[in-house]
Chain A
């Protein structure tokens, strides 16, 4: 057993069990850097971990956290944020969790503009279940669950987030750590739903989307990209269809968050205010 003091206010938890070279290392580091840069501490942030190799980060980063069920981290985070909107809430999960098992929650979280930061580990495979295709796998990709190649075309996470109403949409690459940390910081600073899709090689089960592949196929958004321009964002997001992956903030706009629209949360956090004590007066509705 590792000697870890659970009340330590350092973000560093257990030593990760990810494979050597796994893209999760970079994302984990990027999150830690972003949290430190914002001078947060493990008692001032709530993290939600989905299930999968990415979700195993629950033991590697210290914070108030929920290690939820598969696909449910985002929906669970919606409840967390409503109950305590004063704390930053960070969701991390894989492409299978966010775009597959929890796809419906994804659509509706975008619509609601809940004030959450969602980091998607996009490696096109299910690593923890030994390499089946994920929703972002390229058409024709062969895997244990699709021996003749996947028939469906891949989900386009950026277009999906943009068209469903996310107010911050970015893409990072695990091997470009400084930029990734900046994107996560910017996403957390943004008020509203921030989606950060992070390209991440699975060195064990994905021999196609490798570091070399992403170095070749990613590009920095042009200098003159206007992140407040929805049409430009849509255009950049479509380059994914041509196997070109933009890196940076594609889109950022301001819209009242779900929490902003709730008068109940105008002052104190729901979890911190006094109890409603006038229930007897509600009986007037039944006289």
Chain B
């Protein structure tokens, strides 16, 4: 039988934690990307180091992909649980790799099981049980018609640092897996693999934040590990020797944000990264950044709460908390990238905005956006990374004395002098203050400073706030989807699957927003559908309060998992 030509497939591997699923997934994704496939990959795992059930899936296509798919074409089971957990996502014709020695199974669907005798092969190769993942990698690569030599070179790259012996053992295991499948032409496919013109870049949301922070002249990053933000800490820490950024794992989130404010005051761009619980601890200091007018970038990668919630899963549940965080009234800018490219662009912008408006700027992510990775257009990324930062009214000398740190200005922004500049001094005062920064309780001075700070918000709305992006015709659309943050991805995918004319309004600059301009996008007689990965429809609430727009129809999901486009279609049908 001839091998089938295929233009897209979804491959998924599963095993208990500690069995190397992450490595297998990452390598398979790299094999696909380096062989000309467009990949989108995503790992799911419980909050455990050993045991539980970890998975990694890779969607590979001839055309760009920016989201997951429901149907699993190849399921690689390193244990029985993998098959039992994901069987419902198999279709007729899906292929399952399974070791009969892993236990008795009773398949219920019309899919093909290929026996991959992992135990037997491990014994033959004298390999440790964790190496089953390499056998599975080789077998998978053969199934999708990949080039055998590619395995060898990638493994050499990946394990090179661990020494020749480890490389060889991994290569042998992968090759043995490949060989086991390669003769089986009834089940392999051909995918139009080719050597891409330029080595593709595969980035996740956290990778994108890290890169953009380094490019944005961030010189101080502090964090306390918290999933799903922790990989930013690890990435930036690993780059310190090259970037000269100082990366601090501080004692707690209160220390983290305090240190960042200190560094920012003393003249360096500073950022912190966390998830909801850690951010809760930082909110008091956010308020200090507000009144002290100290630039600060906060990377907030959401996970399902309340409290410890579901630590390793996803949700867009902290939007309103982020917008309204901090006691007292002060301007704050909240940006919500919808995909990895937007993460690069908006992170760069966040650092500029923090300096320009001398106030906290939040970049919202979530576990899904933070950890799903995709092939990006390297030219767009390189251009963005190379654009020099804008520092706003940051000054290193004073032309006129006395220097007034909190000078009342038309745009609300006062020149911010870097401390240590000779000839003057000032304080970043957490108390209400005079223009010269001394403490005051005078009612007129107080009102003037409140108004000055809030004027920065109006300046932002006219100078830097961006309208949501609009795809499709708002006039002709039967459904107009409204999204913010990572639910952008699933809606673009769902629209491709729909026959009816649809449109999509996607918000990135979520708070504050221009009331009139936003309201003008919403006509009374159109069908708007808000898609949010939370239970209470928080962006709907924000639109009501900030723009006076009330969207009646919303699709929400709050089980810790990101949406599948099929779920959007099903929800529309049942509405």
Residues of A participating in the B interface, judged by any CB pair closer than 8 Å = 1, 4-7, 9, 13-14, 42-44, 46, 48-49, 51, 56, 58-59, 62-69, 71-72, 75-84, 86-87, 104-105, 107-108, 262-265, 270-273, 275-276, 278-283, 286-287
- In the bound assembly, the distance between CA atoms of A83 and B266 in angstroms comes to 6
Which residue among A65, A66, A68, A105 has the maximum number of chain B CB atoms within 10 Å of its CB?
Answer: A66
The answer for the CA separation of A62 and B436 in the assembled complex, in Å, is: 12
The answer to whether B244 has its CB under 8 Å from any CB of chain A is yes
Complex CA gap A6/B497 in Å reads 65
Give Cα distance in the complex from A280 to B420, angstroms: 32
CB 8 Å contact bits of B409-453 with A (1 = contact, 0 = none): 000000000111111111111110000111100100000000000
With known contacts A7-B424, A58-B429, A83-B267, A276–B262 Cβ distance under 8 A: no
Is the CB–CB distance between A80 and B199 below 8 Å? no
Known A-B contacts A270-B246, A287-B201; the reply to A279 vs B431 at CB < 8 A is: no
Q: Is B217 an interface residue (CB 8 A)?
A: yes
Question: A79 near B423 (CB under 8 angstroms)?
Answer: no
CA distance A186 to B259 in the complex (A): 25
Q: In the bound complex, do residue B292 and residue A76 qualify as a contact, i.e. CB atoms below 8 Å apart?
A: no
Beta-carbon contact of A67 and B427 below 8 Å: yes
Cα separation A78 to B430 with both chains bound (whole Å): 18
For residue B258, CB closer than 8 A to chain A, the reply is yes
- Smallest Cβ-Cβ distance to B405: which chain A residue: A6
A6 touches B385 (CB 8 A): no
Tell me whether B378 and A283 are in contact (CB under 8 A): yes
Q: A43-B420, A79-B258 are in contact. Are A276 and B217 (CB under 8 A)?
A: yes
Among A49, A105, A280, point to the contact of B386 (Cβ < 8 A). Answer: A280
Does the CB pair A280–B382 fall under 8 Å? yes
Contacting pair A80 B429 (CB below 8 A): no
Task: Indicate if the CB atoms of B199 and A66 lie closer than 8 Å.
Answer: no
**Cross-chain contact A43 with B421 (CB below 8 angstroms):** yes
Q: Give every chain B residue within 8 A of A63 (Cβ-Cβ).
A: 425, 427
Q: State which residues 57-88 of B face A: CB under 8 Å.
A: none
Which of chain A's residues has its CB closest to B265's CB? A66
Q: B257 to chain A: closest CB distance in Å? A: 9
CB contacts (< 8 Å) of A65 on chain B: these are 425-428
Contacts of A105 in B (CB 8 A): 251, 254-255, 258
CB of B491 within 8 Å of the partner chain: no
Nearest-neighbor residue (CB-CB) of B292 within chain A: A66
Q: B340-381, CB under 8 A of A: which get 1 and which 0?
A: 000000000000000000000000000000000000001001
Total A-B residue pairs with C-beta atoms closer than 8 Å?
Answer: 220
Which residue of chain B has the shortest Cβ distance to A73 in the bound complex?
B258
Rounded to whole angstroms, the CA-CA distance of A77 and B251 in the bound complex is: 14
Partner of B438, one of A14, A43, A78, A278: A14
Contact present for B200 and A287 (CB under 8 Å): yes
Most buried by A among B243, B254, B402, B419: B419
Is B223 an interface position by the 8 A CB rule? no
Q: Which residues of A contact B245 (CB under 8 A)?
A: 264, 276
User: In the bound complex, how far is the Cα of B423 from the Cα of A287, in angstroms?
Assistant: 50
Looking at the assembled complex, report how far the CB atom of A165 sits from the nearest CB atom of chain B, in whole angstroms: 13
CA distance A133 to B263 in the complex (A): 33
Q: Which residues of B are found within 8 Å of A263, using beta-carbon distances?
A: 241
Least distance between B164 CB and chain A CB atoms (Å): 23
Contact in complex: B255, A75 (CB < 8 Å): yes
Shortest Cβ distance from A45 into B: residue: B425
Task: Tell me, in angstroms, the Cα distance from A273 to B418 when the chains sit together.
Answer: 13
CB-nearest residue of chain A relative to B211? A282
Select A62's contact among B254, B268, B425, beta carbons within 8 Å.
Answer: B425
B263 is contacted by which of A58, A67, A80, A104 (Cβ under 8 Å)?
A: A80
DSSP class of A's interface residues: helix, strand, loop or mixed? mixed
**Distance between A282 CB and nearest chain B CB, rounded to angstroms:** 6
Give complex CA distance A104, B250 in Å. Answer: 11
Q: Are B403 and A6 in contact (CB under 8 A)?
A: yes
* Leading 9 A-B pairs by shortest Cβ distance: A79-B262, A271-B267, A79-B259, A83-B266, A279-B215, A75-B258, A79-B263, A64-B419, A108-B251
Once the chains bind, are A58 and B439 in contact (CB under 8 Å)?
A: yes
Specify which chain B residues have a CB less than 8 angstroms from the CB of A48 in the assembled complex: 262
Point out the residues of chain B lying under 8 angstroms from A44, CB to CB: 420, 422
Chain B residues near A58: list those with CB within 8 A.
427, 429, 431, 439
Question: In whole angstroms, how far apart are the Cα atoms of A18 and B199 in the complex?
Answer: 67
B23 at the interface (CB under 8 A from A): no
Contact B437 A6 (CB under 8 A): yes
Contact B423 A67 (CB under 8 A): no
Q: Please determine whether B438 and A59 come into contact, CB atoms closer than 8 angstroms.
A: yes
B268 touches A271 (CB 8 A): yes
Cβ contact within 8 Å between A46 and B439: no
Complex interface: chain B residues within 8 A of A282 (CB): 211, 214, 239, 242-243
Q: Report if B99 contacts A (CB, 8 A).
A: no
Known: A71-B254, A83-B266, A283-B381. 12 other contacts (CB 8 A): A58-B431, A64-B425, A66-B292, A66-B427, A66-B428, A68-B430, A72-B285, A78-B250, A79-B263, A264-B245, A271-B418, A279-B214
Q: Is the CB of B222 within 8 A of A79?
A: yes
Check A64 against B426 for contact (C-beta < 8 Å).
Answer: yes
B431, A273: Cβ atoms under 8 Å? no
Q: State A66–B260 Cα separation when bound (angstroms).
A: 13
Chain A residues with CB under 8 A of B504: none
Judge whether B201 and A42 touch: CB under 8 Å: no
17 A-B pairs with C-beta separation under 8 A? A5-B402, A6-B404, A6-B436, A7-B402, A14-B438, A72-B254, A75-B262, A78-B255, A79-B266, A86-B420, A264-B244, A271-B267, A271-B418, A275-B388, A282-B211, A282-B239, A287-B202
The answer on a CB contact under 8 Å between A83 and B219 is yes
Residue of A nearest to B404 (CB): A6
For the complex, give the distance between the alpha carbons of A187 and B203 in Å.
48
The residues of B that contact A82 with a CB separation of less than 8 Å are 220, 246, 248, 259, 262-263
In angstroms, how far is the closest chain A Cβ from the Cβ of B34? 8
Interface contact A271-B211, CB-CB below 8 Å:
no
State which of A7, A71, A75 has its C-beta within 8 Å of the C-beta of B403. A7
Neighbour of A79 across the interface among B199, B220, B240, CB < 8 A: B220
Could you mark each residue 374-399 of chain B with 1 if its beta carbon is under 8 Å from any beta carbon of chain A, else 0? 00001001100110110000000000
Give the distance to chain B from A64, nearest Cβ to Cβ, in Å.
4
List residues of chain B with CB within 8 A of the CB of A59.
438-439
A6 contact from B243, B285, B438, Cβ within 8 A: B438
Q: Is the CB–CB distance between B418 and A283 below 8 Å?
A: no
Residues of A within 8 A of B217 (CB): 275-276
User: Which chain B positions have C-beta within 8 A of A46?
Assistant: 266, 419-420
Q: Is the CB of B261 closer than 8 A to any CB of chain A?
A: yes
B239 CB to closest chain A CB, in angstroms? 6
Partner of B420, one of A51, A264, A271: A271
Q: How far is the CA of A67 from the CA of B245 in the complex (A)?
A: 26
Closest Cβ of chain B to A47, distance in Å, is 8
Given known pairs A75-B250, A79-B270, A108-B255, the reply for A276 and B243 (CB within 8 Å) is yes
Interface residues in B275-316 (C-beta closer than 8 Å to A) = 284-285, 288, 292
Q: Which residue of A lies closest to B214 (CB)?
A: A279
Q: Which of A6, A62, A279 has the most CB of B within 10 A?
A: A279
